[in-house]
A and B are shown apart, each in its own frame.
Chain A
Amino acid sequence: MADDKHQGDKGVSRRRFLKLAGGSVGGAIVIAACGADDEPAQTTAAPTQTTAAPATTEAATTETTAAAPADTPTTTAAASDAPTTTAAAAADTTTTTRAIERGLPAIEGHIVITDPAQYPTTFNESPEMAARVAAGELPPVDQRVPRNPLVVEPVHEIGTYGGRELRRGYISTVNDRQNANRFNGGPDNLIYWDYAHRKVIPNIAAGFEVNADATVLTLYLREGMKWSDGAPFTAEDIVWWRQHMSLNSNVAAPPGQLRVGGEQVAVEKVDDYTVTLTAVAPYPLLPQIMAGWGSINGQTITGQFGYGGFAPAHYLQQFHADFNPDADALAQDAGQENWGAYLKNRNTWQTNPDLPTVTPWVMTRPINDPPWEFEANPYSIWVDTAGNQLPYIHKISMAGAEDREVLILNSVAGEYDFQDRHLQVASLPVLLENQERSGYMIHRTPGVGSDFGVRINLAYDADPVIGELIRTADFRRALSMGVDRDEINEAIFLGTSQTTSTAPSEQSVYALGQEWVEKWATLDVDAANALLDGIGLTEKDGEGYRLRPDGSGDRLVLVYEAPASFADFPAAGQLIREHWREIGIDLSAGPAVTGGLLVEKAEANEIMFSGHTVSSPDPFRQQDLIMPTRTNNYPGLIGIPYAKWRATDGADGVEPPDQLMIKEGWALLDAGLVEPDEAERIRIAKEIYKLHTDQVWSIGVVGDGLAIYGMYLANTNLGNIPARISNTLDQRAPSNALPPAFYWKS
């Protein structure tokens, strides 16, 4: 069985991929201000594979897929017993095996078949669809799926239709839209990562090709593919989106991912099923960027901003002023400001049930009217190797929970069949304890990259005295050395994370070694005090807190604000408050603030310190958390005025002072983006990380743990649940578990 998978694996995509990896020259990318989501940058760092990489990873995959399927808790427990003992034995001698890794199965996943010879020739459909065909509501299944469908070999076995709806949970506000995007949404990227995050493979598009100098990306679409309303999906939908949405200032600002060398990438239709993306400069990273998370990565993630990479032209034209002179009146009737806003409103998958999509499930009941419901898309392009149109499970019902605690309680009570979002690491013991009683299993998927750190607003100037201190490297270093990372790891993350600076994970290709993981990042109260004394903060008040350096005699008070999102970041702030008391720094760590308020304050440049993930696993693909490059939203917490200055070439915003070394960082970033040689690009990335870690632009605390999407709960009666998936934002995890292939075993 494993061998079969690998034959299937050696498709067009891999050949194309190798070509693209070899022929990289470089080009400037600006990751655009696109999402309104507090998605941290977690990515398995695999920026560009060397040609040797796929060959070696093949071997690893063979073992992975050969591993016993984790169908029931019993078999999994049996399968994980052996690794536990070996890992424990290894830990005794090497001490490198992390406790969190013990007993974890290998990453596994479905295989996308790209060899047309292996495509199924006849198609089956679910009883619900068959009934609608019989009633004359739908054409037969072989007319609904494209001629070359998206053929997948499920991770464990071919499933069966039927059974009840799949129950999930969300926090009943529109802010939780990512909850469905990352599961029910497909994903609907045109091209996508394979399950293990090793290479880019076809997805909505049937294939892609990059020319020799990496200036032209050609996308091949699926002939006979339909939108969920039955209208054909063609090159027109991509070109129309590019022309009439992404480049129409009434709708959206042009996404930065499609801007290279100062020019927009031209998107042109060759024929109905072929589209070319042509850049003026080489843009070797474009396929990887398209496969990941951002403004050109599917209608479900960023459709509401007018982004997505494609759009249903036949449906949206009626709301577009260029096609309907009454569009503005239509918008005002609907209570929208103008046609641009209404167009985006109509292109929002989460709230508009009429919107045609290419997702495996279509939304039937909107997010703002719980329960949020989805039904199988009759025109779904996913089929299994036996010709069954996916999804197997007809309906998804997402119950609205008032808050995270209610959602966790429902999870513990077995009210959900699959849940990943909002499960906090602190609740892991409770979740594990109730596995058998409530008939679910918790799968752990440790991430790679930051779980928590302190984002410093380098451009803070609401209080100039504190702003000046923040821009002093030794001040930031002292604060970083004053944090007791082990305590935070133990108290907030159950000891499951690794203490670290902002240096890349040891598992990353950019790993700099233990010296950098510890750089300015181990508790050293004496050294921290010496640094603070060294920059003139010598005066203290009666309680031992340092005074402001402006001679006012007032105590220096820093403010930390954090949302209680992926982990209890506000509580971490209370611990840091205690730690910094030892170095004479008074930190005011308030209760949780909502993400919306935090972003608003950041955009007004009123945030000093905030708690969230810091840095990112890839400086080129996710550059906005490494240095200020984003002018809004969560990444803006590290210095919006500087990002504005960079984005407008100095016309707006504030120029970063030389002492911050931000400009050096930007220069390295620009150099790396146009660097054709991969080894050199890695070297440049490492330079960026060294600069970041040495300058302590953010304070890294813990990483590589379970905090960020690090576990998922699945009903034990569900089939095709991977024992462990690769946990990355790039893959919209857990989309890479391939939810359409989930089925009820009995």
Chain B
Amino acid sequence: MGTSERPPPRPGDTGGGNVAVLVEEDRISVAPQWKLMWWRFRKHKVAVSAGFVIAAFYLVALLANFFAYSDPDDSRPAQSFIPPSPIQWFAEDGTFGPYVHPLVGERDFETFKKVWEADETVSIPIQLFARGYEYKLLGLFDTDIHLIGVPEGYESESTIFLLGTDNFGRDIFSRLVLATRTSLTIGLVGVFLSLVLGVTLGGISGYYGGVPDSIIQRIIEILRSVPVIPLWLGIAAALPLTWSPTRIYFSITIIISLIGWTTLGREVRGRFLQLRHEDFIMAARLCGARDGRIIRVHMVPLLTSHIIAATTLAVPLMIIAETSLSFLGLGLRPPAISWGVMLQDAQNVQTVAQAIWMLIPVAPVILAVLAFNFLGDGVRDAADPYGG
């Protein structure tokens, strides 16, 4: 490796001549793998930013009910199709103090539209850590504290509408926050299962060859010939209607992951086939190492970069799958809230013509998918610090 592979200089390290270069090279030659990966990763500015974005997404997912200010399930048709109503930051005298005006709406029986107007005579202050609907923080503690809210005597549900409301009068911002949690997490188990299956079965197949290889490869071929959408349709219809939508979707992702491991399995097999003839494997075997140890200690680490990349890239695929299948009405269904479900609600003429803000969930989908792809890119580069 050349000096171009040097980690970026630390603050204060202005790169002072040959001595500094030598120190750096020492540092690199003694640094453990994870440290090298980290140095390499830090250089990838886009990946780092993407990492922050993803961290923020998962923070929102973790504390979804805290960030939401309205009960996302609370339908109030009387306040349907309220357009996004931003918070006013400064009072008329110029002092800082966020507030909103209450909205008054009535249906116009000429146009049959709801017309909303702000009542400017009343200003309702917005408070931090206000009380709202009850929920379990992190699934553990009962609380009713939310990041923002309105003082007692008012209800957030009928006061703040950051991103407007949908056809049932539910607050879109709060639903979006809850949808983030569902969309970012529901497929993770499936991804993990695919990973384990792919590495294990692909590893066995590639390492041993012969009969196990033939059996596993034939299974992979059969599984790969199963079309996913009809399978999805079939399972969605076969699972009992009395199950909750989340449970149904979770079951489907598990079943899909049982056939989704095949790509990774094939790749791992290929790498194993190639590696098992390498000298260091032969050396390990001659030293009496068992198969398990050879695979775990000598082979899998060499595949880490590939596996990590495959996993990070599988997550956005999972997000897209959830969104598109729910949009088609095959994946998650109401009352579950996800990005796809929210977009399905927006799937009609009146939304496109009159309540365009119901399409807002498109933004987090794009952002999350891009961020994961950039992160995956950065991680793949970093996981192979000696590569080009």
Cα(A444)–Cα(B331), bound, Å? 37
Which of B77, B168, B241, B349 contacts A590 (CB under 8 A)? B241
Q: Is B225 an interface residue (CB 8 A)?
A: no
9-residue interface stretch from A107-115, A134-142, A427-435 = A427-435
The residues in B between 34 and 54 inclusive whose CB is less than 8 angstroms from any CB of A are: none
Cα(A536)–Cα(B348), bound, Å? 43
Q: A430 and B350 in contact (CB under 8 A), knowing A557-B242, A559-B241, A591-B329?
A: yes
Question: B residues touching A (Cβ–Cβ < 8 Å)?
Answer: 73, 75-78, 80, 107, 109-113, 167-169, 241-242, 329, 333-335, 347-350, 353-354
List, in ascending order, chain B residues with CB within 8 A of A429's CB: 111-113, 350, 354
Q: A103-B109, A430-B349, A494-B107 are in contact. List 12 more A-B contacts (CB 8 A).
A: A103-B110, A412-B349, A412-B353, A429-B111, A430-B350, A433-B354, A487-B75, A488-B77, A491-B80, A571-B167, A574-B335, A577-B335
The residues in A between 547 and 578 inclusive whose CB is less than 8 angstroms from any CB of B are: 557, 559, 561, 571, 574-575, 577-578
- A702 to B: closest C-beta gap in Å: 12
Is A430 a contact of B241 with CB atoms below 8 Å?
A: no
List, in ascending order, chain B residues with CB within 8 A of A574's CB: 75, 168, 334-335
Is A491 a contact of B335 with CB atoms below 8 Å?
A: no
List, in ascending order, chain A residues with CB within 8 A of B354's CB: 429-430, 433
User: Taking chain B's interface residues, is the majority helix, strand, or loop, or is none over half, making it mixed?
Assistant: loop
List, in ascending order, chain B residues with CB within 8 A of A102's CB: 109
List, in ascending order, chain A residues with CB within 8 A of B167's CB: 426, 491, 571
Q: Is A490 an interface residue (CB 8 A)?
A: yes
Number of A residues with CB within 8 Å of any CB on chain B:
36
Which of B335, B347, B350 contacts A426 (CB under 8 A)? B350
Q: A430 and B353 in contact (CB under 8 A), knowing A491-B167, A559-B241?
A: yes
Q: Is A495 an interface residue (CB 8 A)?
A: yes
Q: A490 and B110 in contact (CB under 8 A), knowing A408-B349, A559-B241, A588-B241?
A: no
List, in ascending order, chain A residues with CB within 8 A of B75's CB: 487, 491, 574-575, 578
List the B residue with the shortest CB-CB distance to A98. B109
Is B112 a contact of A494 with CB atoms below 8 Å?
A: yes
List, in ascending order, chain B residues with CB within 8 A of A592's CB: 329
The residues in A between 402 and 417 inclusive whose CB is less than 8 angstroms from any CB of B are: 405, 408-409, 412
Is B329 a contact of A427 with CB atoms below 8 Å?
A: no
List, in ascending order, chain A residues with CB within 8 A of B107's CB: 99, 494-495
- B222 to A: closest C-beta gap in Å: 30
Is B353 a contact of A433 with CB atoms below 8 Å?
A: yes
Q: Is A469 an interface residue (CB 8 A)?
A: no
List, in ascending order, chain A residues with CB within 8 A of B349's CB: 405, 408-409, 412, 427, 430
- A408 to B: closest C-beta gap in Å: 5
Which of B80, B113, B242, B335 contacts A490 (CB under 8 A)? B80
List, in ascending order, chain B residues with CB within 8 A of A430's CB: 349-350, 353-354
Residue picked from A429, A495, A557, A571, most chain B C-beta under 10 Å: A429
Q: Is A316 an interface residue (CB 8 A)?
A: no
Interface string of A566-602 (1 = CB under 8 A from B): 0000010011011000000000111110000000000
List, in ascending order, chain B residues with CB within 8 A of A590's CB: 241, 333
Interface CB pairs A-B, < 8 A, 7: A408-B349, A412-B349, A487-B75, A488-B77, A490-B77, A590-B241, A591-B329
Which of B80, B241, B347, B350 contacts A427 (CB under 8 A)? B350
The residues in A between 686 and 728 inclusive whose CB is less than 8 angstroms from any CB of B are: none
Is B347 a contact of A405 with CB atoms below 8 Å?
A: yes
Q: A491 and B77 in contact (CB under 8 A), knowing A405-B349, A429-B354, A591-B329?
A: yes
Cα(A200)–Cα(B78), bound, Å? 43
- B86 to A: closest C-beta gap in Å: 24
Q: Is A100 an interface residue (CB 8 A)?
A: yes
Is A490 a contact of B78 with CB atoms below 8 Å?
A: yes
List, in ascending order, chain A residues with CB within 8 A of B77's CB: 486-488, 490-491, 575
Cα(A426)–Cα(B333), bound, Å? 21
List, in ascending order, chain A residues with CB within 8 A of B335's CB: 574, 577-578
- A207 to B: closest C-beta gap in Å: 44
Q: Is A496 an interface residue (CB 8 A)?
A: yes
Q: A432 and B111 in contact (CB under 8 A), knowing A405-B347, A491-B169?
A: yes
- B179 to A: closest C-beta gap in Å: 16
Residue picked from A426, A430, A592, most chain B C-beta under 10 Å: A430
The 7 closest A-B pairs by CB, nearest first: A491-B77, A490-B77, A557-B242, A430-B353, A99-B109, A429-B113, A429-B112
List the B residue with the shortest CB-CB distance to A597. B237
Is A496 a contact of B78 with CB atoms below 8 Å?
A: no
List the B residue with the shortest CB-CB distance to A433. B111
Cα(A558)–Cα(B107), bound, Å? 34
The residues in A between 226 and 281 inclusive whose CB is less than 8 angstroms from any CB of B are: none
Cα(A428)–Cα(B110), bound, Å? 10
Cα(A716)–Cα(B226), bound, Å? 54
- A409 to B: closest C-beta gap in Å: 6
List, in ascending order, chain A residues with CB within 8 A of B347's CB: 405
List, in ascending order, chain B residues with CB within 8 A of A488's CB: 77
List, in ascending order, chain B residues with CB within 8 A of A578's CB: 73, 75, 335
List the A residue with the shortest CB-CB distance to B108. A429
- A370 to B: closest C-beta gap in Å: 21
List, in ascending order, chain B residues with CB within 8 A of A490's CB: 77-78, 80
Residue picked from B76, B329, B335, B354, most chain A C-beta under 10 Å: B335
Which of A496, A557, A575 contacts B112 (CB under 8 A)? A496
Cα(A577)–Cα(B110), bound, Å? 32
- A559 to B: closest C-beta gap in Å: 5
List, in ascending order, chain B residues with CB within 8 A of A103's CB: 109-110
- A255 to B: closest C-beta gap in Å: 36
List, in ascending order, chain A residues with CB within 8 A of B334's CB: 574, 589, 591
Cα(A432)–Cα(B350), bound, Å? 11
List, in ascending order, chain A residues with CB within 8 A of B241's CB: 559, 561, 588, 590
Is A591 a contact of B333 with CB atoms below 8 Å?
A: yes
List, in ascending order, chain A residues with CB within 8 A of B350's CB: 426-427, 429-430
List, in ascending order, chain A residues with CB within 8 A of B109's CB: 99-100, 102-103
- B158 to A: closest C-beta gap in Å: 14
Cα(A430)–Cα(B169), bound, Å? 19
Cα(A191)–Cα(B144), bound, Å? 67
List, in ascending order, chain A residues with CB within 8 A of B113's CB: 429
List, in ascending order, chain A residues with CB within 8 A of B80's CB: 490-491
List the A residue with the shortest CB-CB distance to B237. A597
- A78 to B: closest C-beta gap in Å: 14
- A170 to B: closest C-beta gap in Å: 17
Cα(A486)–Cα(B76), bound, Å? 10
Residue picked from A99, A487, A491, A578, most chain B C-beta under 10 Å: A491
Cα(A374)–Cα(B79), bound, Å? 46
List the A residue with the shortest CB-CB distance to B78. A490
Cα(A408)–Cα(B168), bound, Å? 21
List the B residue with the shortest CB-CB distance to A556. B242
The residues in A between 378 and 408 inclusive whose CB is less than 8 angstroms from any CB of B are: 405, 408
List, in ascending order, chain B residues with CB within 8 A of A487's CB: 75-78
Q: A432 and B112 in contact (CB under 8 A), knowing A491-B75, A575-B75?
A: yes
The residues in A between 86 and 130 inclusive whose CB is less than 8 angstroms from any CB of B are: 99-100, 102-103
List the B residue with the shortest CB-CB distance to A575. B75
- B234 to A: closest C-beta gap in Å: 14
- A80 to B: closest C-beta gap in Å: 10
Cα(A100)–Cα(B334), bound, Å? 31
Cα(A486)–Cα(B79), bound, Å? 13
Cα(A588)–Cα(B110), bound, Å? 36
The residues in A between 37 and 70 inclusive whose CB is less than 8 angstroms from any CB of B are: none
- B140 to A: closest C-beta gap in Å: 15
List, in ascending order, chain A residues with CB within 8 A of B333's CB: 590-591
List the B residue with the shortest CB-CB distance to A425. B112
List the A residue with the shortest CB-CB distance to B344. A591
Cα(A577)–Cα(B75), bound, Å? 11
- A91 to B: closest C-beta gap in Å: 10
Is A588 a contact of B112 with CB atoms below 8 Å?
A: no
- B168 to A: closest C-beta gap in Å: 5
